[in-house]
Amino acid sequence: MAQMGRPRTFDREQAVEQAMHLFWQHGYDATSLAQLKAGLGGGISAPSFYAAFGSKEALFDECVQRYLTTYAQVTECLWDESLQPRQAVETALRQSVRMQCEDGHPKGCMVALGVMSAPSPENARVADGLTQSRLRTRAGIVACVERAVRMGQLPGTINPAVMAAVFDSFLQGVSILARDNVPHATLDAALSQLLLTWDVAASTVPPVRSDTAPKNPCLSTPTT
């Protein structure tokens, strides 16, 4: 009679959370199977690991999806058109800065840090989810700038891609500063300084000309 395998002694949901923290901290390539097994707890063996997750790559994909549906949601407000464009950008960036500085998980943003801990060429595909998330965030900032131009809140001379790159560059750089333990208060104040870029651009929008408004016929000079 075949002997049944030893039942799992670990909580799978908690294991994925722990694995996500390891990948977030060290990147895909630098996180070894030994680190994952130790981090997951329960004395999981290599066969049990593969039975539970399929492969290191499959586990990474699962961790990326968990990150994108939780922590990465801080920038989804970029697509909320009930917010004014500037408000959407500011909210997304302030929420991201706060999240990246929080305790309880690695500092910085897993999506941004995936660039610096990118997998080796033969494993490059595993970073696709992170790459697509960065592209979506950048596109969201561009969409906010374009909306502001259409609404007359920013001048038509603004290049949305260039303006978005200014804010996106700050967002990517926060990960390094957070890893260097730059305080949240400093980064939040830096963001306030950065937002002056938007305000200065907005101040150059030409005012509505009074001579384009319809004239009151009662004020016209009567003819004789």
Q: Distances in Å between the alpha carbon of 89 and those of 58, 108, 130, 141, 150?
A: 33, 19, 20, 7, 16
Tell me the domains of the chain and their CATH numbers: 12-67 (1.10.10.60), 74-202 (1.10.357.10)
* Rg for the chain, CA atoms, rounded: 25
Phi, then psi, of 104 in degrees rounded to 5: 95, -10
pTM of the model: 0.84
**DSSP label of 195:** H
In the numeric block, the tokens 């990465």 are attached to 72
User: Which has the closest alpha carbon to 68: 24, 10, 121?
Assistant: 24
The whole-number pLDDT of residue 63 equals: 94
Largest Cα span, the chain: 117
pLDDT, tens only, 119-165 = 566 666 778 889 899 999 999 999 999 999 999 999 999 999 999 99
pLDDT category, 178, cuts 50, 70, 90?
very high
174: its two tokens = 């926060």
102: its two tokens = 């929080």
CA atoms within 13 A on the CB side of 80: 15
